[in-house]
Structure formats: structure tokens, C-alpha cells
């Protein structure tokens, strides 16, 4: 009888120990993810840190251009897979990122346009020392529906469409197209500002223009509207839209923004630089990250993968700024 009781006691003890082991294992496997949607940040895993190369530790916040948000997140992910520093990236528009830098709320403003004179003055009044670095280039695309047969437009025709001088597709050679539906970005977008200033000469938008909150939303709207036309970064090109070839005028070639050479040699007339703005001379993690973004092959791969292009002729501008700031390029 005592032998039976002893065996039963041992069996119960083993069951309890097994239950504790399983419970601990399940706790370890169900730790929640710390990454929020739309934000990229470094993992805090000790195992991950052991595989990373040495580099400055710390935390950077980058905010701004909706055109650049996917690119910025790709930069951050690739950098953090290699080095220790943490980089968090959010969008909201170039104006939002610039305002955040002016208020000293972020370390990097990602922008697809330059600071305005008023913004530079506001930054100066806030003791924010703004420096502009070119991190890539964008062929700003004119998108139409995939079933639209119009393949070529001059800059003047593009302007006339978006200012409402041309309202029917028949005026451009497509008799079945009907009335043109104009899609635009919202006014906090650097793409909006660039397009309005450089293509529309600051004129008003066509009556009935639809102002979209993001590049993806704009492209999606055009893909669902046979008569739609809009503009956004070439990185948002998808199969359900066409990208028009654009000429400076009728005496010049119609050029595609899908070819890197057309961006680098300036033959595509709606190309623009993409910027990182910093407060003060970059140092520590900021300088290490900036050097990686501007000069590394890994960053160039991220530019290509997200549909954008390298700094090209802007490399000399970056070198001059490095020299001015007494930094080694």
C-alpha cells in the first residue's frame, strides 16, 4: 500500500512540473510585437543586438513626406538590420515634417520640397539651424487610368489640364474619354507645392479637382476612374495606371520618368530631389545614419526597390555642404 502511495505522489509531482514548464514556454512565445503600423523602430532583443555591427547608439525620429514614407521606412529597416541605432519613421506630408523640425520635435524632416523663406525664418526664430541634404531623386509622374490611350503630354498640356484650361479628353485626342477628372494631393504635401509652383506656375486648380490625403489614395482613385489624371512620385506606380511620357514642349522628345538616365541627365522635365533636413550639424548617430543613406550601396538598393533614384548630380551639392560643415564626405 505504501509503495502505491509513493508512486502516485511521484506521478502527481511530475505532472505539476510538466505544467509549469509548458506555461513558461507559452509565455515566452506570446510576447507582443512592439512595432506600430506606419512606424519603424529597432528591436530591443539582446539576441539581435549581438549580431549588429558596432555603431552609435541612440534614437532618431524622422517625419514628413508621404511620397518618401515608404522609402524612409525601407532606409530605417535596412540600417537597423546592420547597426545598433534606432530610427522611427512616420509620414503626414512634407509640411508636417518641416513643422516638426522647426518645433524641434524630430531629428529629421523628410521632404519632397525645399523649405520656404517663411519656414526658414520661423526656424531661425526658434533657434533651429536647418541643413539640407539630398538623399535621392524622384521622377514626378503624371498618372492616368490604365485604359486611357493618351501616352504623351507636353508640360503646357499638363498645366492646362490641372488649371482647368483643358477640360475634355477629346481636346487631347481621345474622343471617348469624356470630361477630365483631376486628382491632386492636399496642400500640406510637398508634392502639391512642387507641382503647383513648377508646373502650374502657382495658378488655381481646375474646378472640381479632388484633393487626396496620400499618394496611394490618389493612384487608387485614378485606377478606378477611367477619365482620371493625377500626379505623384514614381515610387507609387502600379499596374492599374499608366505613366505619361512628358516633353518640355512640342519641339522636344517625350520622356519617361521610369528610366534612371532620364532623371539623372535632366531630360525628364518633372524630376526633383528628395531631402533630409536636420537641426544643426549632424553628429553621432545622425551623422552615421546620414552617411549610410547618402553613400552606401545598401541605401541605393532601397532607393531602387522603392522606385526612386540615386542622388546623381546632387552629389556635388552634398559634398560642398559636408565641406562647409567641416565633415568628411
The Cα-based distances of 34 to 44, 69, 73, 109, 238 in angstroms read 9, 19, 16, 24, 31
Q: Is 18 exposed, middle or buried (0-12, 13-18, 19+ CB in 10 A)?
A: exposed
pLDDT value at residue 8 = 38
Could you tell me the end-to-end alpha-carbon distance of the chain, in angstroms, rounded to an integer?
85
Over the stretch 129-144, which tens digit does the pLDDT of each residue have? 999 999 999 999 999 9
Residues 6+ positions from 290 with CB-CB distance below 8 Å: 133, 276, 278, 282
Three cell numbers at 172? 487631347
Residues 6+ positions from 43 with CB-CB distance below 8 Å: 34, 80
Over the stretch 12-28, which tens digit does the pLDDT of each residue have? 343 333 343 334 333 33
pLDDT value at residue 197 = 95
Q: What is the pTM of this model?
A: 0.80
Every domain of the chain with CATH number 3.40.190.10 lies at 57-138+272-324, 141-264
Say if CB 86 and CB 58 are below 8 A apart. Answer: yes
Parts of the chain with a pLDDT under 70:
1-52
Sheet architecture: strand order including 271-279: 86-90, 59-64, 108-111, 271-279, 130-139
Residues 6+ positions from 121 with CB-CB distance below 8 Å: none
Say if CB 254 and CB 158 are below 8 A apart. Answer: no
Domain covering 57-138+272-324 assigned CATH 3.40.190.10 in the classification: yes
Residues 6+ positions from 67 with CB-CB distance below 8 Å: 94, 112, 138, 189, 190, 191, 215, 232, 233, 235, 236, 274
pLDDT value at residue 141 = 97
What homologous superfamily is domain 141-264 in, according to CATH? Periplasmic binding protein-like II (3.40.190.10)
pLDDT value at residue 32 = 28
Name which of 212, 206, 173, 255 is nearest 67 in CA terms.
212
pLDDT value at residue 54 = 75
Q: What letter does residue 309 receive in the DSSP assignment?
A: B
Amino acid at each position: 500500500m505504501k509503495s502505491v502511495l509513493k508512486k502516485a505522489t511521484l506521478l502527481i509531482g511530475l505532472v505539476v512540473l510538466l505544467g509549469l514548464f509548458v506555461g513558461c514556454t507559452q509565455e515566452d512565445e506570446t510576447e507582443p510585437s512592439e512595432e506600430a503600423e506606419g512606424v519603424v523602430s529597432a528591436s530591443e532583443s539582446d539576441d539581435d543586438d549581438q549580431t549588429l555591427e558596432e555603431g552609435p547608439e541612440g534614437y532618431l525620429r524622422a517625419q514628413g513626406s508621404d511620397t518618401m514614407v515608404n522609402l524612409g521606412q525601407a532606409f530605417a529597416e535596412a540600417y537597423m538590420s546592420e547597426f545598433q541605432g534606432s530610427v522611427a519613421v512616420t509620414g503626414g506630408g512634407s509640411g508636417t515634417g518641416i513643422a516638426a523640425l522647426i518645433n524641434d520635435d524630430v531629428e529629421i524632416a523628410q521632404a519632397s520640397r525645399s523649405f520656404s523663406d517663411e519656414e526658414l525664418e520661423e526656424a531661425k526664430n526658434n533657434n533651429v539651424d536647418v541643413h539640407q541634404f539630398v538623399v535621392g531623386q524622384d521622377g514626378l509622374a503624371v498618372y492616368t487610368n490604365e485604359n486611357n490611350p493618351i501616352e504623351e503630354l507636353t508640360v503646357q498640356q499638363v498645366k492646362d489640364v490641372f488649371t482647368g484650361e483643358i477640360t475634355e479628353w477629346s481636346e487631347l485626342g481621345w474622343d471617348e474619354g469624356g470630361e477630365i477628372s483631376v486628382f491632386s494631393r492636399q496642400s500640406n504635401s510637398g508634392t502639391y507645392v512642387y507641382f503647383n509652383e513648377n508646373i502650374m506656375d502657382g495658378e488655381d486648380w481646375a474646378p472640381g479637382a479632388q484633393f487626396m490625403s496620400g499618394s496611394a489614395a490618389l493612384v487608387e482613385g485614378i485606377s478606378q476612374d477611367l477619365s482620371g489624371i493625377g500626379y505623384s512620385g514614381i515610387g507609387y506606380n502600379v499596374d492599374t495606371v499608366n505613366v505619361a511620357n512628358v516633353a518640355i514642349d512640342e519641339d522636344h522628345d517625350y520622356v519617361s520618368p521610369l528610366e534612371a538616365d532620364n532623371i539623372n541627365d535632366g531630360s525628364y522635365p518633372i524630376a526633383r530631389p528628395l531631402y533630409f533636413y536636420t537641426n544643426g550639424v549632424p553628429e553621432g548617430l545622425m551623422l552615421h545614419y546620414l552617411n549610410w543613406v547618402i553613400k552606401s550601396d545598401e541605401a541605393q538598393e532601397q532607393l531602387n526597390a522603392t522606385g526612386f533614384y540615386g542622388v546623381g548630380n546632387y552629389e556635388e551639392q552634398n559634398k560642398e555642404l559636408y565641406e562647409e560643415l567641416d565633415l568628411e564626405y
